[in-house]
Amino acid sequence: MCEFISAIRIEGHLLYIDNKTLDEKRTKEILKDSKDNDLLGHHAIRAVYDLKSGEGQEIEVQDFWNPKNLPEELRSKLKDFETFKSNFGKLVTNHAQLDDLEYIIKKAPKTKKWNGLKDFCENLKKDRLMKNVTIIEKEVDVRYDVSIDQLVKEAKFDGYINSNVNDKNFPESTKQAEKKTIKLVNIGAAASTKDIEFVLDALNLRSAVTKELLSLAKDHPDEQRQHPIAALASVWQDSGGVRHVPCVREWADGRGLDLGWLEADWLGGWFFTALSK
């Protein structure tokens, strides 16, 4: 996957796609079937300028705010936040992926001339993540008053049960049971745990713990038959250092309880249990 900004140098010329090129009728026609991230990279440049694979020298500069890293031809177009917006803002707004935006958010300089770049990308990221959010609300009698081991039994799973979901690995305090509105949040796209937590925070929600997830499974057993559901606030690290969170879903043998890998990306069909902060 190519990174922003990408360019190709060939026969003394530097070829790249900016806002102006992107708006040309010819470019729109050539790239009409391209995926978003393709438009940031060398594949799109080759298509627009009719270059064969391997022609020219491919250039990629992620830290585009550092003029020392840029080809000379791009320095005037990326000398500050305002020139970035006027020359490449539309390209990034419409076609940057979450990892592109995350890199800029992490690395953007704090200098006066680049003031606004981080906020610009954070707002794009929020809009991208929030675009297709779906929320289902369920009223649940959350059994904080019993152990996790007991709740696993009361949920009456009829499929696979991962024995690592227990009180030892997921210690939670005991207190009075409460009626709660649990929200099942889906963002409609593959995303990292960090992205999911970003969305929940933007919605003023907190991730659920194991007892809240299991209580949902107990009170609404058919819900996990519709989609897999995870609770991100309860984390267990195994002997190999891998971190897991509890999840419920439907398998071939019935309703099951398992562990999800916290560091892996979640597919777009996953829902995440959350409650109001």
d(CA 159, CA 249): 9
Q: Can you tell me the distance from the alpha carbon of 4 to that of 64, in angstroms, rounded to the nearest whole number?
A: 8
CA–CA gap between residue 230 and residue 234 (Å, rounded): 10
Q: What is the mean pLDDT of residues 162-169?
A: 97
Number of domains making up the chain: 2
Q: Which CATH number goes with the domain that contains 259?
A: 3.10.100
What pLDDT is attached to residue 35?
67
Going by pLDDT thresholds of 50, 70 and 90, the confidence category of residue 33 is confident
pLDDT of residue 1: 59
Same domain, 210 and 223: yes
**175, pLDDT greater than 90:** yes
Report residue 264 CA to chain centroid gap: 11
The pLDDT, as a whole number, for residue 92 is 94
Collapsing DSSP to helix, strand or coil, 49 comes out as coil
Give domain status of residue 1, yes or no.
no
Contact between 245 and 235 under an 8 Å Cβ cutoff? The reply is yes
Average pLDDT over residues 270-275: 98
87 plus 121 within the same structural domain: yes
Q: Measure the N-to-C terminal CA separation of the chain; round to a whole number of Å.
A: 38
Of 138, 135, 137, residue with least CA distance to 219: 138
Looking at residue 261, its pLDDT comes to: 95
**222-240 pLDDT per residue, tens:** 999 999 999 999 999 999 9
User: What is the identity of the amino acid at 24?
Assistant: E
| Pairing label, strands 243-251, 134-142 | unpaired
pLDDT-based confidence at residue 37 (cuts at 50, 70, 90): low
Amino acid symbol at 276: S
Average pLDDT over residues 200-208: 96
Q: What is the pLDDT of residues 57-92, one digit of tens each?
A: 999 999 999 999 999 999 999 999 999 999 999 999
Are residues 37 and 157 both part of a single domain? no
Q: How far is CA 194 from the centre of its chain?
A: 7
Same domain for 64 and 171, yes or no, is no
In this structure, the answer to whether residues 152 and 67 fall within a common structural domain is: no
| Residue where the block lists tokens 């439907």 | 250
- Residue 136 sits at φ, ψ, to 5 deg, of -115, 130
Q: Which domain holds residue 187?
A: 134-276
pLDDT at residue 38 is higher than 80: no
**Does residue 161 share a domain with residue 89?**
no
Which residue, of 130, 151, 170, is where some domain finishes? 130
CB 64 within 8 A of CB 89: no
Could you tell me the maximum CA-CA distance found in the chain, to the nearest angstrom? Answer: 74
Do 203 and 76 share a structural domain?
no
**How high is the pLDDT of residue 241?**
95
- Share of residues in the chain with pLDDT > 90 (%): 83
Quick one: 110 and 171 in the same domain?
no
167 with 251, same domain: the answer is: yes
Q: What is the mean pLDDT of residues 138-149?
A: 98
Domain closes at, from 130, 162, 195: 130
